[in-house]
Amino acid sequence: VAQVREPEGIGAWRNLLRAHAAVVGRIARDVEARTGLPLTWYDALLEVNSALPDRKLRIQDLSERVVFSRSRLSRVVDEMVRAGLVRREPDPSDGRAAFAVITADGRAALRRAAPVYLRDIEEHFLRHLAPDERTVIATALGRVAAAEGVDTPVR
Amino acid sequence: VAQVREPEGIGAWRNLLRAHAAVVGRIARDVEARTGLPLTWYDALLEVNSALPDRKLRIQDLSERVVFSRSRLSRVVDEMVRAGLVRREPDPSDGRAAFAVITADGRAALRRAAPVYLRDIEEHFLRHLAPDERTVIATALGRVAAAEGVDTPVR
DNA sequence: AAAGATTGACATCTCAATCTTC
DNA sequence: GAAGATTGAGATGTCAATCTTT
């Protein structure tokens, strides 16, 4: 039908989808199998943990940094609370808002999982990329993510 | 925890996830709203349509080209059969295998949807990329997808 | 009435089990 | 018994409605 119209650009799009499909599921399964942490938990924990100064983040802010929807985040936070990795904490300055705060157990879990995750990223993704390719991918896809962020209207 | 260990490579990984999350859902919703074709259907139809010589593909082969699991594909083919976009056809040379064959309606649906999809890709993705960035992303992520294909063992 | 967060209802997707044919 | 395909059961994800506070 129309595969021939923009071969080069479409290849970039197509291989973004293919690489994502090939790598993400595999890494997620491996990290969870070896550490007990689903990748969604890891992702959220990492953001909460790196929030300064006191390693807590409003759910709202967290949902902008994480790759799934706010309603999903609500449930993921529930699960992590049940597992003892974070606490919920009310925002004294705004009764509507809530913080997620990482616990000592949460930090320990993150410390255990980080090397596994980093090794998987290296082994299943970075290994195939030359240094300059890593740079291009980081900056170019970062630009895309910034421009097409969750709240950009469809126009 | 360990965010500082490999800043450049991790940025490539992180922004792959972020760009994917920011763009794919949006394009999928837009294409479906404007054409009635879910992106999964489009993807599968496109592969079946470009299979030579007679625009049919074994389910097995199709599942290797498409970005979701074989069991999901089984259901997607069901849905498309019900919608009249493909037919199932037994493989005369192997009683276990089945082909998906595109119908005239299927080709028409693809023709209608293609310009919408291509425009969305251009507008929400390619627009942010310089020509040389497109090339690097296409070749580098293509290499990743090929190397980490669905059947590569976890080792 | 708008913003932050959660919940109910549903869609999408995968794993493991199953059925059939090789 | 292994390969191709489908199915059952359940995990994961989203949208729209709701509740509370602003």
Cβ-based neighbour number of residue A93 at 10 Å: 6
Identity of the residue in A14, A22, A136 whose CB atom sits nearest the CB atom of B148:
A22
Interface check for B108 against chain A (CB to CB < 8 A): the answer is no
pLDDT over 70 at A70, yes or no: yes
pLDDT tens-digit profile of B61-106?
999 999 999 999 999 999 999 999 999 999 999 999 999 999 999 9
Q: Residue A9 half-sphere exposure, CB side, CA atoms within 13 Å? A: 18
Residue B153: pLDDT band by 50, 70, 90 thresholds? very low
Quick check: pTM over 0.85? yes
In this structure, are residues B14 and B75 in contact, taking their beta carbons and an 8 Å threshold? no
Q: Is A130 an 8 Å CB contact of chain B?
A: yes
For A31-41, the pLDDT digits (tens) are 999 999 999 99
What does the pLDDT average to over A50-63?
92
Given an 8 Å threshold on Cβ–Cβ distance, is A129 in contact with B9?
yes
Collapsing DSSP to helix, strand or coil, A102 comes out as strand
Query: Which stretch of A45-49, A82-86, B2-6, B116-120 has the lowest confidence by average pLDDT?
Result: B2-6
- Hey, is B10 helix, strand or coil? helix
**Does the CB of A104 have a partner CB in chain B at under 8 Å?**
no
Residue A71: CB less than 7 A from any atom in strand D: yes
Instruction: Please state the rounded mean pLDDT for residues A21-33.
Output: 93
Closest Cβ opposite residue B145 in set A18, A50, A121: A18
- CA A78 from centre of chain: 17
CB A63 under 7 Å to nucleic chain D = no
